A = this chain, B = another copy of it.
């Protein structure tokens, strides 16, 4: 019996460009470049289409099969393709949302087709309390930048955000920097790239104050995301608590299991 998954076999597809890799960006490693080319090729294909076999693709791109497999493994992890031993590699259902990727509010909203903006409520320097200093690995009393803002998507208040950053990581940060993406500012001005975060997701109901700021009735549902973000040196650099309105926001992701 056939699997219900659609599997179109497109004979002799030409995925790679003329010959080998025309460098997308010489900075990128080969398997990253192959990935870029493959994503572009996938965009022109339909869900269920079969990709050329690995050996063939490797030859087309002018890389070894191991390198090609590294590229495809990355795409499989992101859900672009699915592989079946003995059968082939197939274009997968496009991922609805990549909430298993670490993104800031701005990116998140851009991915959903909204324009993100921000209304700053609080910008101040405070000394770290016990919880903050423990999570951010600071001495108690060390200075923090404390930020509170309303995040807005296409004019609609979407979430309340409270952020703590160790002050010594972001010297000279001002309220004006916070009208848009904090992650952009951290990366471009301070060289801090947030690569990993530990999150806790829970449900709650909003208080009167929160309801007013979000423009929803008191005791409406809310999704609470508490996040501790780590940079490229594995230092904890961001402690955030976001309260999303429950009627307009959800998280989507794909979870996996390794073996039986």
Binding site for B on A (CB under 8 A): 3-5, 32, 66, 74, 82, 84, 96, 99-103, 137, 187, 193-205, 219-224, 233-236, 244, 246, 249-260
Contacts and interface: CB of A to CB of B under 8 A. Distances in A.
A216 to B, nearest CB: 12
A250 B202 contact: yes
B198 A3 contact: no
Contacts of A258: 74, 101
Copies in the complex: 2
A101 B195 contact: no
A204 B201 CA distance: 13
B252 A200 contact: yes
Contacts of A224: 203
Contacts of A235: 3-5
Contacts of A223: 201-203, 223
A200 to B, nearest CB: 5
A93 B194 CA distance: 17
Contacts of A251: 199-202
B202 A249 contact: yes
A95 B253 CA distance: 19
Most buried by B among A100, A101, A201: A201
Given A84-B234, A204-B221, A196 B246 contact: no
Given A203-B204, A205-B221, 9 more contacts: A3-B234, A101-B258, A102-B256, A193-B257, A196-B255, A196-B257, A197-B254, A199-B255, A205-B205
